[in-house]
Amino acid sequence: MKRFAFYGRVSTEDQQDPESSKAWQLSRATQLIGATGEVVTEYFDIGQSRSLPWKRRPEAARLLGDLKRPDRGFDAIVIGEPARAFYGNQFGLTFPVLTHYGVELWVPEVGGAVDPGSDAHDMVMALYGGMSKGERTRIKIRVRSAMASQAAEGRFLGGRPPYGYRLADGGLHPNPGKAANGQRLHYLEPDPSTAPIVERIYTEYLHDSGLYAIAEGLTRDGVPCPSAADPKRNSHRSGIAWSKSAVRAILRNPRYTGREVWNKQRRDETLIDVEDVALGHETKLRWNSSDEWIWSTDTTHEPIIDPEVFARAQQLAGAGAQRAARRVNRRKNTYLLRGRLRCGACGARMQGNWNHDRAHYRCRVPAEYALANKVDHPATIYLREDQIVPALDEWIATVFDPANLDATIAALNEAQGPTETDDARAEAARRALEDANEKIDRLVAAIEQGSPADTLGPRIQQLRAAKIAAERELAAAQPSSVLDDADIRALIDAVGPISDVLAGADPDAKARLYNELGLELTFDATKRLVRVEALPVCVRSCRRGDLNSYDTHDGLWRCVYESPAQRAFATSDTRSRCRPVSPGGHESVTNL
């Protein structure tokens, strides 16, 4: 009897019942397999969008990981609803992986197992992937159209009320079903304690006070900032002091004029890695231009700011933005330690500043901010880059000292990757590549004979993506040209003293090296001392995708992928699969 793994998915836990959704998908899957086999394990994603690739869904990624295990316990995968499992070209990217590991895929729409050699099956699955993408697009259009219409009518669309307002009861919800469940409408009304602060901000700004000056004055006078005034909704913020960004947000918010405004921001889906489209997209919030905003026709709530006052504030802000835009930096300055140097007094990253033809780093904290945050911080802390870099390069060069050279060569040799071909993996990749080429040729021939290109074109794109994936798999299974220990030692000898090489290196290349080594520097201005840590790990994302194994240390996750430069810098006691943030890696202290 065949052993099956069931996979299903439900997107929004708050709008759908996960148990009911899983039940009907599993029921449909068990009806399909009938007496052929039984479901022995289940993978079910909850709260995951269908647009996410399989390796970015927790349960689907676990399923893909289990495919590689010889003791996985199942021979085939059954899916009750393909439109919930596959989106766009996801089938074309996932099915070759299942075929590679000899695991069948059963779906009701083809009446059983998907045949890897059947163009008809490929087209059916591609069709359902397109239908899934189209359904998501239609839902997005309907929702956005409804919200635009409700915003124009003056409906409060939910979310956190702006600073200066609070929510008031607006009566029963107009939808009878939601009203029966007790849901009610809301509208904005001025908050007696914070609305006068909004008026103060606009008044001071129109009387030529800058954002910093306004923020400092509010902090000095003990006025609670937005996160302190509503701590339940701002638990992620400290709520200690006003910042200029909070003042700017209040000055730019048109809802203080009494009208509802929507569509100030949009969600854009951008590729995570343009070199690997299989990783999918990530959603980023971006600002729309003011001509794309949706305004309510009439006043919907009591205004705090007169529209003319708001318009004057926008004109003043626009004039400042134009002045800033006219400032042209005619010289490209390279900061070797950009984003890597922190202030020891406040912990903030120090800002690059070019002065007297030299790179400096500074940390500026207004006195009121320092007082509110209870830190002993001068108004400005300065540090010259050329006081740090020579000592830093000498420290990095120590990995090529005679005492460390053997370990460095071994690490560089290990980082070159496999030296022998994985025959089974390479043969499977060749078969997948040949299969993709044959199918592409057949579809191109069909288009030339008069078949509709708009129908077959998307399928050709899916096959081309599968072809690229097969080519990469074949390249990964075959070793590239490798160097032995003697070759590496000869290259190091030919380069010469590494400290001299680093001293004369191109600034951009040196900055990239510092980035790969994961350097983190902290400047103690009182002791004139810089503490340096090297954490040679890939902390956030990895081009090799989310299917890599991960290790953890003290609750901190680190990807095990390393570049050759990162491996070379790791000593024997820190070249483990899991590296702690502190005190692991390397550490050095430089006195200035």
Does residue 562 have a pLDDT over 80?
no
Does residue 326 have a pLDDT over 60?
no
pLDDT tens-digit readout, 403-430: 888 887 777 776 665 556 667 788 888 8
CB atoms within 10 A of CB 469: 21
Does residue 568 have a pLDDT over 70?
no
Q: What is the pLDDT of residue 547?
A: 34
Q: How confident is the model at residue 44 (pLDDT cuts 50, 70, 90)?
A: very high
Q: How confident is the model at residue 107 (pLDDT cuts 50, 70, 90)?
A: very high
What are residue 352's DSSP bridge partners?
A: 361
Among the ranges given (48-57, 108-117, 489-498), the one the predictor scored with the smallest mean pLDDT: 489-498
Q: What is the pLDDT of residue 164?
A: 93
- Whole-angstrom distance, CA of residue 39 vs CA of residue 178: 39
Q: What is the pLDDT of residue 484?
A: 72
CB atoms within 10 A of CB 194: 20
Among the ranges given (138-152, 178-192, 201-215, 373-387), the one the predictor scored with the smallest mean pLDDT: 373-387
More confident residue, 143 or 464: 143
More confident residue, 573 or 40: 40
What are residue 519's DSSP bridge partners?
A: 534
Does residue 525 have a pLDDT over 70?
yes
Among the ranges given (107-116, 335-344, 473-482), the one the predictor scored with the smallest mean pLDDT: 473-482
Does residue 236 have a pLDDT over 90?
no
- 463 burial (CB, 10 Å; 0-12 / 13-18 / 19+) is buried
Among the ranges given (190-194, 244-248, 398-402), the one the predictor scored with the smallest mean pLDDT: 398-402
Burial 64-96 (b: 16+ CB within 10 A, else e): bebbeeeebebebbbbbbbbbbbbbbbbbbbbb
Q: How confident is the model at residue 344 (pLDDT cuts 50, 70, 90)?
A: confident
pLDDT tens-digit readout, 212-234: 889 889 988 889 888 888 887 77
Using CA atoms, how far residue 152 sits from 155, 257, 265, in Å, is 8, 15, 16
Mean pLDDT of the chain: 80
More confident residue, 239 or 467: 467
Q: To which H or E segment does residue 180 belong?
A: helix 176-180
Q: What is the pLDDT of residue 414?
A: 67
Q: 2-139 with 165-260+296-326: one CATH topology? A: no
Q: How confident is the model at residue 285 (pLDDT cuts 50, 70, 90)?
A: confident
Q: How confident is the model at residue 578 (pLDDT cuts 50, 70, 90)?
A: very low
Average pLDDT on 81-105 reads 91
Does residue 579 have a pLDDT over 80?
no
Average pLDDT on 332-361 reads 86
Q: How confident is the model at residue 541 (pLDDT cuts 50, 70, 90)?
A: very low
3-state SS, 236-284, equals CCCCCCCCHHHHHHHHCCHHHHCCCEECCEEEEEEECCCCCHHHCEEEE
Superfamily, domain 2-139: Resolvase, N-terminal catalytic domain (3.40.50.1390)
Highest mean pLDDT among 163-172, 330-339, 436-445: 163-172
Structural domain spans, the chain: 2-139, 165-260+296-326, 329-416+483-592, 423-482
* Phi-psi group of 514: left, alpha or beta (phi > 0 → left; psi -120 to 50 → alpha; rest → beta): alpha
Does residue 188 have a pLDDT over 70?
yes
Q: What is the pLDDT of residue 324?
A: 52
Does residue 13 have a pLDDT over 60?
no
Q: What is the pLDDT of residue 334?
A: 84
Q: What is the pLDDT of residue 4?
A: 95
- The two beta strands, 265-271 and 519-524, are unpaired
Domain 165-260+296-326 has CATH 3.90.1750.20: yes
In one-letter notation, the amino acid at residue 541 is S
Kindly give, in sequence order, each residue whose CB lies less than 8 Å from that of residue 480, ignoring residues fewer than 6 positions away.
Answer: 416, 417
- Whole-angstrom distance, CA of residue 190 vs CA of residue 193: 9
Does residue 553 have a pLDDT over 60?
no
